[in-house]
Amino acid sequence: MYVSFFLGKFITKTYMLALSPCNQNELDTLSGGFLLLKQFKNEHQHINKIIKRSDNASVLGGHATFESEKNFCDELGVKLLIRNYSEIQRGKSVCDRMAGAAKLRMRAWVNTGNNLLTASDIKKGI
């Protein structure tokens, strides 16, 4: 999610990535993160510093995730200032709320008789 402050108001934009098939392993997660960061940088070329927020899942995987994310940022000319984590079992972050809304729309899509089998279907459902 992108948050900026413009004319006295906070503006948010949510980026979601749908891959099919996806094993949700570290490689898939990093690849998806790189695709999103690249898209973000293309749309907001004036931004050169970011703060990344995520759940604690990547903490348990070792240091490869952190190093790879820093390398991705360096490659795109973005400085990764801080990497924050959500507290385990401490409620949902704003990203979880946005994902929840998307899941609700996808359920409604399926309930009206549509398929939800590919990334293209997910995009149509949202």
57 and 15 in one domain?
Answer: yes
pLDDT digits (tens, 9 = 90+) for 25-76: 778 778 888 888 898 889 888 888 888 777 655 555 567 777 888 899 999 9
pLDDT score at 49: 87
Instruction: State which residues form the domain around 56.
Output: 2-90
pTM score of the predicted model:
0.65
126 and 75 in one domain?
Answer: no
Window from 12-26, 71-85, 110-124 with minimum mean pLDDT: 12-26
103 and 80 in one domain?
Answer: no
Pairing of strands 49-54, 79-85: parallel
User: Which residue, 111, 102, 62, 66, is CA-closest to 84?
Assistant: 66
17 and 79 in one domain?
Answer: yes
Q: How far apart are CA 71 and CA 50, in angstroms?
A: 14
37 and 85 in one domain?
Answer: yes
73 and 31 in one domain?
Answer: yes
When divided into structural domains, the chain yields a total of 2
**3: number of Cβ within 10 Å:** 11
Q: How far apart are CA 37 and CA 33, in angstroms?
A: 6
86 and 55 in one domain?
Answer: yes
